[in-house]
Amino acid sequence: MTDETRSTEDRTTPIRVLIAKPGLDGHDRGAKVLARGLRDEGFEVIYTGLRQTPEMIADAAEQEDVDVVGLSILSGAHMTLLPRVVQLCRERGMDDVLIAAGGIIPDADVTKLKEAGIAEVFGPGTSIGQIATYFRDHARRRA
């Protein structure tokens, strides 16, 4: 066994995160940097690529049974798309899935998004470490 970093007692399972880009953004550098950063923090990251509808995101979250959905959005359509993702996920019984957002989102909208069920909004300048810590602290615990 070449794996020196994990002992056999360490049976905790990695947190599964879906990183998705809803809407018509044309670039996903931020989402990819986050995906790689979270991988290095020990998360299992499922990345779906650009231009996803809320239905596609909810469907992917359901099939992958993720603990966290991270939505990256830069287009300004967050007030339409993000609450819709939350609504679809809850409708499908994903009550305990943490849904967070990042990107260019004005402060004035953050409160409304939180009311709509977005757990946290990460703006520019947030470090990967902060996001990882937040996910670890708030993702559901598995049996």
Partner 1 sequence: MADLGELLRGAAAGERLALARLLTAIENDAPGLHETLPAIFAAGHQAHVVGITGPPGSGKSTLVDALTDEWRRRGRRVGIVAVDPSSPYTGGAIMGDRIRMMDHAADGDVFMRSMASRGELGGVAAATWMASAALDAAGYDPILIETVGAGQSEIEIARLAETTVVVEVPEMGDEVQAIKAGLLEVADLLVVNKGDRPGADLAARHLRAMLSTAGGRILRKPPPIMLTTATSGKGVAALVDAIDEHRSAARSPLQATARAQNQLRRALADLALRRASHDGDWEDVVQSVAKRDVDPISAAERLLGPEKTG
Closer residue to partner 1 (CB): 90 or 110: 90
Alpha-carbon separation of residue 57 from 28, 87, 97 (angstroms): 16, 12, 13
Radius of gyration of the chain (CA): 15
For position 106 contacting partner 1 by CB under 8 A, the verdict is: no
For position 129 contacting partner 1 by CB under 8 A, the verdict is: no
Closer residue to partner 1 (CB): 63 or 80: 63
Closer residue to partner 1 (CB): 45 or 98: 45
CB 140 within 8 A of CB 97: yes
The one segment of 49-57, 68-76, 100-108, 117-125 that binds partner 1 by CB under 8 A: 49-57
For position 45 contacting partner 1 by CB under 8 A, the verdict is: yes
Number of amino acids touching partner 1 (CB under 8 A): 38
**Member of 24, 63, 77, 112 binding partner 1 (CB under 8 A):** 63
Helix (H, G, I), strand (E, B) or coil at 111: helix
CB 124 within 8 A of CB 104: yes
Site for partner 1 in 25-44 (CB under 8 A): 35-36, 38-44
What percent of the chain is helix, strand and coil (3-state, nearest 5)?
40, 15, 45
20 CB-near residues (< 8 Å, 6+ apart) = 31, 47, 48, 52, 57, 60, 69, 70, 71, 72
For position 52 contacting partner 1 by CB under 8 A, the verdict is: yes
User: Where does this chain bind partner 1 (CB under 8 A)?
Assistant: 1-3, 5-8, 13-14, 35-36, 38-49, 52-53, 55-56, 59-60, 62-65, 92-94, 142-143
